Homo-oligomer: A and B are copies of this chain.
Amino acid sequence: MNIITGGVTAATGFEAAGAEAGIKYKNRKDMAMIYSQKPCILAGTFTSNVVKAAPVLWDKKVVEESPYGQAVIINAGIANACTGKEGYDYCNRTAKAASKVLDIPESAVLVASTGVIGMQLPIDKIENGIGMLAAAKADTLEAGTLAAEAIMTTDTRSKQAAAQIEIGGKKVTLGGMSKGSGMIHPNMCTMLGFVTTDAVISKELLTKALKEDVTDTFNMISVDGDTSTNDTLIIMANGMAENPEIKDNTPEYEAFKEALHYINESLAKMMAGDGEGATALLEVKVTGADTKENARILSRSVVGSSLVKAMIYGHDANGGRILCALGYSGVEFDPDRVDLFFESKAGRIQTYKDGAALNFNEEEASKILAEPEVTILADMKMGTEAATAWGCDLTYDYVKINADYRS
């Protein structure tokens, strides 16, 4: 696998665009389009929230029932959630408008929204924006970047990743973009993610690859414990790499999954590190768990703890809060075995051994925690399973952003 520059336009035949449609924000791009020159096999995974936004309902239907998809229309500023029948009708009108201007079936148009809940879309501005996007779309890396910028809400930077593999002598490319960064929590975080590939692969196998991988990537990040109404991850495969079809249980499938994992993990970590108000990416590695699922639960419990997150912000190596968060995760373990470490570019330090606090150099620990990427290691010494979760610190700015989001 080669890591390459780019995002949703990295793979052959994919175009993108970003536009200023004036939906809610002023003087910034707030609509994006992804378009494939050929129809795509689709797979997707969506929020587990009982309250599902209209675009989630629309996309589930497209992914499950349409043979192909060919375009995605995304807007930032308004989530089109809790908007009733009117909100769903707007998905339909968005698809209609895109269908007309792109000359593709309505059922091949996916829609995605992010922003404030409980507000209707200004559909005239959306329809106008679709015209602008169709006119501007291009297959360049810049066009991908413009799209990645347009879908940001409280994000401070755009998020893209791309990778290339070779299958049967053909170059196969995968690229993606995503946006965070509030309402982010396991079981599809508040996030929109879009991955494109030119691979030839069946819908069944594409779906399998996606489902297997999100468990250890997108579902392992948390910013604030709030699972959004709009979480959507879509992967589109247009087959234009012309590789021999990727089959299950082959080295080619493994190579494809490795590249997909790289894209998903990269996008997930970027979202966690760009959590609302965050100053640091927090990585929590749990080792020595008795089962893989318990390792996941334990690491997510730590990464989701407000007290752990605030302590990272304060550069305070208070391992007790980590043990406490492991302890209320719901997983049974022997607290008298747990070892805890902090690690970053500045070094590594052990603060707990067999569940009891060690004497350690506080100044050294504080230096380790002051880095922009900090890892907490917890060895449960109960077995051999491991998992990693990602999040961020809890800061004044998180409160500021969320006390004042709608204005």
Residues in A lying within 8 Å of B, measured CB to CB: 48-52, 79, 81-84, 86, 116-119, 182-183, 185, 187, 224-229, 304-307, 310-311, 313-314, 316, 318-321, 323-329, 331-333, 335-336, 351-352, 354-357, 394-396, 398-407
Query: Is the beta-carbon distance between A307 and B402 smaller than 8 angstroms?
Result: yes
Measured between alpha carbons, how far is A358 from B372 in the docked complex, in Å? 42
Cβ–Cβ contact A405 & B318, under 8 A: yes
Q: How many copies of the chain does the oligomer comprise?
A: 2
**Smallest CB-CB separation from A403: which chain B residue?**
B314
Complex CA distance for A185 and B399, rounded to whole angstroms: 19
Contact B399 A335 (CB under 8 A): no
- Cβ–Cβ < 8 Å partners of A182 in chain B: 307
Alpha-carbon distance between A72 and B259 when the two chains are bound, in angstroms:
60
Scoring A182, A324, A329 by chain B CB atoms within 10 A of each residue's CB, the highest score goes to: A324
CA distance A405 to B331 in the complex (A): 27
Report the bound CA distance from A367 to B354 in whole Å.
52
Q: Secondary structure at chain A's binding surface: helix, strand, loop or mixed?
A: loop
Known: A82-B319, A310-B401, A313-B399; 10 extra A-B contacts, CB below 8 A, are A49-B328, A50-B333, A81-B324, A224-B306, A224-B307, A226-B321, A316-B403, A316-B406, A394-B403, A399-B399
Indicate the member of A117, A307, A332 with the most B CB atoms within 10 Å: A307
| Chain B residues within 8 Å of A185, by CB | 328
> With the chains together, A328 CA to B307 CA distance in Å?
22
Of B118, B187, B319, B402, which one neighbours A310 at CB under 8 angstroms?
A: B402
Known interface pairs A226-B306, A332-B50, A396-B399; A83-B356 also in contact (CB < 8 Å): yes
**Least Cβ distance of A190 to chain B in Å?**
9
**A-B CB contact pairs (8 Å), 11 listed:** A52-B327, A81-B320, A116-B318, A117-B318, A117-B324, A225-B304, A229-B327, A311-B402, A313-B399, A316-B405, A396-B396
* Contact A394-B405, Cβ < 8 Å, known A82-B352, A318-B117, A355-B84: no
Q: Is the CB of A116 within 8 A of B399?
A: no
Expressed in whole angstroms, the Cα–Cα distance for A311 and B328 within the complex equals 26
Q: Given the complex, which residues of B lie within 8 Å of A400, measured CB to CB?
A: 396
Chain B residue nearest in CB terms to A81:
B320
Question: With the chains together, A401 CA to B394 CA distance in Å?
Answer: 12
Q: Across the interface, which residues of B come within 8 angstroms of A406, CB to CB?
A: 316, 318
Report the separation of the CA atoms of residues A186 and B116 in the bound assembly, to the nearest whole angstrom: 29
Q: Are A51 and B399 in contact (CB under 8 A)?
A: no
Report the minimal beta-carbon distance from A370 to chain B, rounded to whole angstroms.
Answer: 12
| Cα–Cα, bound, A321→B230 (Å) | 12
Instruction: Report how far A261 CA is from B352 CA in the complex, Å.
Output: 40
> Considering the chains assembled together, what is the distance between the CA atoms of A318 and B304 in angstroms?
23
B residues near A187, Cβ cutoff 8 Å = 328
- What residues of B have a CB within 8 angstroms of the CB of A48 in the complex? 328
The answer for the CA separation of A324 and B118 in the assembled complex, in Å, is 10
